[in-house]
Amino acid sequence: MNREKEFVRTMGKSDVGKADLRRTLLDRRAALSAEAVAGAQEALGRRALDLPELAGASTVAAYVSIGREPGTRALLEVLRGRGVRVLLPVLLPDNDLDWGLYRGPGHLVRAGRGLLEPDGDRLGVSAVTEADAVLLPGLAVDGRGVRLGRGGGSYDRVLARLSRPGPARVVLLYDHEVVPRVPAEAHDQAVDAVVTPGGVRRFR
């Protein structure tokens, strides 16, 4: 209960910085039980698969969830089973993202920072621009669609490569990670929607 009260108190502060917000959100994720994570993955997958942007997509850029991140693995398999071309990120030494084709869980390799990446050919950093929808990791999003990432800047570069109009930009989060305000900087670009186990919210 004390942890929950602290979370609510932090989320309500107007002057909270990105580092404090990240710390609070990561602590909240770390406290989730395995059962809660599994239940959220099932609900999140159903919500995401109902998105019109995914229903009509031929190519989707996504990612493999790790640890207590909102789960994407079942979602990736359903998309692949539909015949969707699924692109997964490959972290480069400068924190930019290359991309590779998802060919199933048996074709994932453990990389730096504990990430799971696709084996096979690399498609280049611009491959993401071929996607009809881009599913983004994050730690929070606010009512303006401003997304909070982990601070490495990888997805800031991805978002900067996407034209408007262009692929739908969708962040996958837990319900409590839709927060009143995320500190924004000049380079931050808003997402189009957030999917949580509880529903979908659009910003544009």
Q: Is the dihedral of CA 9, 10, 12, 13 positive or negative?
A: positive
Q: Is 154 annotated as a binding residue?
A: yes
Q: How far is CA 161 from the centre of its chain?
A: 17
Residue 31 known to bind ligand:
no
For residue 22, say whether it is annotated as part of any ligand binding site: yes
- Measured from the Cβ of residue 183, the count of other Cβ atoms closer than 10 Å reads 16
Is 153 labeled as ligand-binding?
A: yes
148 is in an annotated binding site: yes
Taking the mean position of all CA atoms in its chain, how far away is CA 36? 18
Q: Is 21 annotated as a binding residue?
A: yes
Beta-bridge mates of residue 60 = 86, 133
Residues 6+ apart with CB under 8 A from 149: 137, 138, 139, 155, 156
Number of H helices, E strands in the chain: 6, 11
- Residue type, position 110, single letter: R
> Is 18 annotated among the ligand-binding residues?
yes
Q: How far, in Å, CA of 150 to CA of 68, rounded? A: 14
64 is in an annotated binding site: yes
Does 155 carry a binding-site annotation? yes
From the annotation, which residues make up the binding site?
18-22, 64, 69, 147-155
From the annotation, which residues make up the binding site for substrate?
64, 69
From the annotation, which residues make up the binding site for ATP?
18-22, 147-155
